[in-house]
């Protein structure tokens, strides 16, 4: 089965630093998403991306966050100035038209 | 604002018996519902889905039931196997699954040998 690939699997960063989380969605998918799960809590939607622009974003996705599809294969989430509360598992997902989302294995972000 | 609720944080069943995981939702705009299974340190993996035009969908040992009037869905696993032990997330989407998914908090299923 095709996979969504995320790198790195674990990222430790100092508070205030910028981080970029990387994702390679499934090649023929058109919709891309970022979700996060803070330890012990539910999976939360951050942002969806379609046709090279953000189609929807949640309240969590403030000005510190940005997404980019720099080439035909990668989809990135940038956090400009990390805070302690940004520590979470970040999941990238992708889907085809009208179909269920496939999730990557996640990146564990630890802000110290 | 919990639009998707899984009120049981955990469930324990014996191998071979039925596991029933429940999910309630509040948003009438949801028309597509999915169950995802998640192992520790892995991403959610899709299990089964149902469209609002149906009330039942079956795939092997897994069956999802949807009661639209009650805004309730359930996942039945029968027979349950130890490898089914994982966290199960109910998710809902307002438009055929290509819009954002709203997740419940998850139910941790433990199947005892």
**Contact A102/A3 with Cβ under 8 angstroms?**
yes
Q: Mind listing the pLDDT tens digit for each residue in A55-106?
A: 889 999 999 999 999 887 899 999 999 999 999 999 999 988 767 889 999 9
Check residue B113 and give its pLDDT. Answer: 93
pLDDT confidence of residue A98? 66
pLDDT tens digits for B3-60?
Answer: 999 999 999 999 999 999 999 999 888 989 999 999 988 899 999 999 999 999 999 9
Integer Cα distance of B12 and B109 in angstroms: 6
How distant is the alpha carbon of residue A14 from its chain centre?
Answer: 19
Answer whether residue A13 shows pLDDT above 60.
yes
Among the partner-chain residues A31, A45, A103, the one whose CB lies closest to the CB of B43 is: A103
B50 φψ region: left (φ > 0), alpha (ψ -120 to 50), beta (else): beta
Q: pLDDT exceeding 90 applies to what percent of chain A? A: 77
B residues 53-82 closer than 8 Å to A (CB):
none
Q: What are phi and psi of A85, to 5 degrees?
A: -75, -5
pLDDT, greater one: A6 or A72: A6
Q: Which residue among B96, B100, B103 sits closest to A98, beta carbon to beta carbon?
A: B96
Q: Between B95 and A9, name the one with better pLDDT.
A: A9
Query: Taking 60 as the threshold, does the pLDDT of residue B96 lie above it?
Result: no
What is the distance between the terminal CA atoms of chain B, rounded to a whole angstrom?
A: 38
Render A22-43 in DSSP notation, one character per residue.
EEE--TT--EEEEEEE-TTS-E
Residue B97 has a pLDDT of 47
d(CA A45, CA B101): 7
* Of residues B33, B9, B48, B47, the one with CA closest to residue B97: B33
Find out whether B84 and A40 touch, Cβ atoms under 8 Å.
no
Hey, are the CB atoms on A44 and B103 less than 8 Å from each other? yes
Lowest model confidence (mean pLDDT) among A6-15, A90-99, B74-83: A90-99
d(CA B109, CA B8): 10
* A30 φ, ψ (degrees, to nearest 5): -115, -20
Answer for the pair A12, A21: CB distance below 8 angstroms, yes or no.
no
Beta carbons of B98 and A33 less than 8 Å apart? no
pLDDT band at residue B95, thresholds of 50, 70 and 90? low
State the Cα–Cα distance between residues B36 and A39, nearest whole angstrom.
18
B111 Cβ under 8 Å from any chain A Cβ: no
CA distances for A50 relative to A47, A90, A100, B95, B102, angstroms: 10, 19, 15, 15, 18
CB-CB under 8 Å, B49 with A103: no
């Amino acid at each position: 089965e095709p996979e969504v690939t995320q790198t790195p699997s674990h990222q430790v960063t100092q508070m205030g630093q910028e981080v970029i989380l990387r994702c390679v969605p499934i090649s023929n998918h058109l919709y891309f998403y970022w979700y996060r799960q803070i330890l012990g809590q539910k999976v939360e939607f951050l942002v969806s991306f379609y046709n090279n622009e953000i189609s929807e974003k949640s309240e969590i996705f403030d000005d510190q966050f940005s997404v980019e599809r720099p080439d035909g294969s990668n989809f990135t989430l940038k956090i400009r100035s990390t805070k302690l509360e940004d520590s979470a598992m970040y999941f990238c997902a992708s889907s085809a038209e009208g179909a269920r989302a496939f999730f990557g294995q996640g990146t564990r972000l630890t802000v110290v | 604002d919990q639009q998707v609720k899984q009120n049981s944080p955990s469930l324990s069943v014996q191998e071979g018996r039925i596991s029933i995981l429940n999910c309630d939702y509040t948003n009438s705009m949801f028309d597509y519902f999915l169950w995802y299974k998640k192992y520790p340190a892995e991403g959610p993996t899709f299990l089964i889905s149902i469209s609002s035009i149906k009330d039942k969908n079956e795939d092997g040992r897994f069956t999802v039931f949807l009661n639209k009037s009650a805004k309730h869905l359930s996942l039945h696993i029968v027979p349950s196997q130890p490898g089914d032990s994982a966290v199960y997330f109910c998710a809902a989407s307002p438009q055929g699954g290509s819009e954002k998914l709203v997740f419940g908090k998850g139910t941790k299923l433990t199947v005892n040998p």
